[in-house]
Chains A and B, each alone.
Chain A
Amino acid sequence: MSNLSVLIDAPILLVQLVASGILVGAIFALVAYGMALVWGVMNIINIAQGEFVMLGGYIVFYLAGAGVQPLFGIPIAAAVMFVFGFALYRAVIYRIVGRDMFVSILATFGISILLQQLANQLFSADIRTLPSGLPTLAFDNGMVTIAGVKIVGFVAALVVGVALFVFLRYTRIGRAIRATAQNARAARVLGVDTDRVYATTFALNGAICGAAGGLVAMTWFIQPYLGLTYTLRSFMIVVAAGLGNLPGVIVAGSALGVLEEAAGFVLGAEYQTAFIFLLLIVLLIGRNALLARQRKYLR
């Protein structure tokens, strides 16, 4: 508990933990939003989510090698991953829409292994990272430092989030996506081409992950096996926030980020992840109890 007393002696460190937690959480929230979209609309849990992020990272990395500014590489990565997502839907995913969820988990798990191994063959297992070239902001004599790239990542995550929100709310296909999520059968009856909606949704998720991957390459590093971290984290965020709740996903993502940093500081890094999963269990039990009470009330 000596770490806790350090924090009490120097509360400014808490600012550091909260700030970096929020900034880091936003990138996870972005990936989680893509997962929530696919889950909500198609009832598919995409285990290959993290691998999409990894591919997006490599696209930005290699574009940077060819002289493209990483920030401009991000929209290109998003576009490429949109096409990739679309193609993957046409090849595999359409077969599992509407099937048992277990089938979708198996299928996307297979895809994730395939993508990992392909990436390993194509790009090698070396760890790649993109120097951001951005300065670090320092406050209070360097006690709080925030890397410029994390702010860029945060802003980019927000921009993508808002763009997505506008897209779903105001465009025709966006409305169709929401209608399909609410009731696919009714949407079909009303003339919505649900197959096209599914394809667009899955492609959109690819684009979101592509953008997030670029941010990951700029903020941390990429390697072929980083996927699972992102899949698990986004799964957790979605479970915490609930489906189809964009602000909820961003809040949950950032909150988890902050709690993770704080837990890492106070309990030690080895309990960082364990703490988050413990929290998830508590959350699920708590929510279950809450809902149970509601059912009793309704009865």
Chain B
Amino acid sequence: MYTTRSILAAAIGVALLASAAPGIAATDDSIVLGAAVSLTGKYSTNGKNTKDGYDLAVKVINDKGGVKVGNKAYKLKVVYYDDESTSARGAQLVERLIGQDHVDFVLGPYSSALTKAIAPVTEKYKMPMVEGNGADRSLFTQGYKYMFAVLNTSDYYLRAAVNILADEAKKAGRDPKSIKIAIAIENDNFSQDVRDGVVEDAKKYGMQVVIDDKLPADLNDMTATLTKVKALKPDALMISGHEKGAVLGIRQVAEQKVYVPMLALTHCDSAQITEKFGMESNYAFCGSQWDVSMTYTDPWFGNSQQYADMFKKAYNYDPPYQAAESTASVEVFADAIKRAGSLDKDKVRDALAKTDMTTFFGPVKFDATGKNIAKSMVMYQVQHEKYVVVAPAKWAEGKPIYPAPTWDKRETDSKVTRK
């Protein structure tokens, strides 16, 4: 009993000391950004992408002289905490970053869910936050004034697929109204938003949504949905469920030889579908926030290819778009702070709102709700086990292959290539 009590006393003592210690931030020559990202838990892979993206941006911006505020050059610095992929922890840690560590500004976490948990906190403290990994549309209907997002909202992930369907229908002399779409999504905010985008655009063209399934969160088998696809023969099957959805979709569609002229997915590159499945991933369409073939440039990184090279050199893997959008978030801060000419939170917030810049990731310009309205997404198709950008036309490296060949046709194809 005695020992327990003394341990408790010691623990309280340590805690008091820790809270009394001066904050990390506000040293003379550095601007401190705070970030709670998922280094453990279910988002840890993408959390690492996010952190690597931030770190590379900070390193490159500092190497090129840092951020000029008035006549003084400041270095950037990031304080990280691990939110363990849980919302409650994320909100707690941001309170701590602001209240105890006195960071100057806040960078976003990974995922819409975590961003949703954090935004009310940054808003409460009137703390500007730039984020690159929360794409759920509902983030932008809350009237937040201090949150800015560099990426496209999630409803845009597969809109391009619907447009391609409409184009191809016109080319083939078909009425778009005869096009049938099947949707299977995981039941979370992000995927729900992806689905809504598809449904909105399908309605625009008068297409019919014949299957609209929401897979349970513990999904590991979508046979029931795929059997329906076999029966109703839609022109396109659109699947969204983060990495899990992409892996399951490619795997089971191929395994059960379900034929759809178009299979469209999200999260293909981070799920590494070409590496995992090879020829089975062929002809899949994938929505993405960014691609190395884009030719936007900025003074820090040059173009996307140069960014990708730098990233690979630093971290030994190709940057997924999750890293690129994180890097862009830091660039946006650097730009806004410079224009504000001050570290004052409200001045920087106003400067952020007036952002009109180009980064390697794409143009950035925020609307009143804080979302980026200048950038568009890209749509890949896996062709010969490689990602080929097929839309928008400006960045297209190839034409979309539609309809995809049937499975018996594909097997002979692969035998040819294997020889």
Contacts and interface: CB of A to CB of B under 8 A. Distances in A.
Given A220-B248, A220-B251, A265-B227, 20 more contacts: A3-B228, A6-B228, A16-B223, A17-B227, A20-B227, A125-B42, A127-B271, A129-B247, A138-B257, A142-B230, A142-B257, A145-B257, A221-B244, A221-B248, A224-B42, A229-B218, A264-B223, A269-B224, A270-B187, A273-B216
B45 interface: yes
B43 interface: yes
A124 interface: yes
Interface string A196-237: 000000000000000000001000110111101100000000
B221 interface: yes
A260 B222 CA distance: 11
Contacts, number: 112
A136 interface: yes
Interface in B175-234: 184, 187, 212-216, 218-225, 227-228, 230-232
B225 A269 contact: yes
Contacts of B187: 270
A106 interface: no
A124 B243 contact: no
Given A265-B228, A269-B224, A221 B251 contact: yes
A126 B45 contact: yes
A264 B220 CA distance: 13
Contact of A273 (B43, B218, B277): B218
B398 interface: no
Q: Majority SS of interface residues in chain A?
A: helix
Nearest to B278: A131
A262 B223 CA distance: 10
A51 interface: no
Contacts of A3: 228
Contacts of A69: none
Of the listed residues A10, A13, A126, the one surrounded by the most CB atoms of chain B closer than 10 A to its CB is A126
A223 B222 CA distance: 17
Contact of A223 (B213, B216, B244, B277): B244
B28 interface: no
B297 interface: no
A171 interface: no
A124 B214 contact: no
B277 A131 contact: yes
A224 B243 CA distance: 14
B256 interface: yes
Interface in B264-278: 271, 276-277
Contacts of A270: 187, 213-216
A120 B40 CA distance: 7
B256 A147 contact: yes
B218 A268 contact: no
Contacts of A114: none
Interface of B: 40-45, 184, 187, 212-216, 218-225, 227-228, 230-232, 243-244, 247-248, 251, 255-259, 271, 276-277, 407
A127 B215 contact: no
Nearest to A3: B228
3 nearest A-B residue pairs (beta carbon): A264-B224, A270-B214, A269-B213
Contacts of B223: 16-17, 20, 24, 261, 264
A16 B231 CA distance: 11
Nearest to A264: B224
Contacts of A261: 223-224, 227
A270 B213 CA distance: 7
A269 B184 contact: yes
Given A120-B41, A147-B255, A268-B214, A127 B247 contact: yes
Interface string A1-40: 0010010001001001100100010000000000000000
A225 B42 contact: yes
A268 B211 CA distance: 9
Interface in A106-138: 117, 120-121, 124-127, 129, 131, 136, 138
Contacts of A216: 220
Contacts of A17: 223-224, 227
Given A136-B255, A145-B256, A127 B244 contact: yes
A272 B40 contact: no
20 contacts: A16-B230, A20-B223, A120-B44, A126-B243, A129-B247, A129-B276, A142-B407, A145-B255, A228-B218, A263-B224, A264-B213, A264-B224, A264-B225, A265-B227, A265-B228, A268-B214, A269-B184, A269-B213, A269-B216, A269-B224
A101 interface: no
A224 B45 CA distance: 12
A149 interface: yes
A143 interface: yes
A131 B42 CA distance: 23
B257 A125 contact: no
B44 A125 contact: yes
Nearest to A6: B231
A220 B221 contact: yes
Given A6-B232, A223-B244, A229-B220, A136 B256 contact: yes
Contact of B224 (A145, A147, A225, A265): A265
A260 B221 CA distance: 10
B98 to A, nearest CB: 28
Interface in A80-126: 117, 120-121, 124-126
A149 B220 contact: no
A172 B214 CA distance: 50
A232 B156 CA distance: 36
A117 to B, nearest CB: 7
Given A127-B247, A229-B218, A13 B230 contact: yes
Contacts of A131: 276-277
B241 to A, nearest CB: 11
B414 to A, nearest CB: 13
A13 B231 contact: yes
B137 to A, nearest CB: 20
A220 B231 CA distance: 23
Contact of B255 (A10, A142, A149, A265): A149
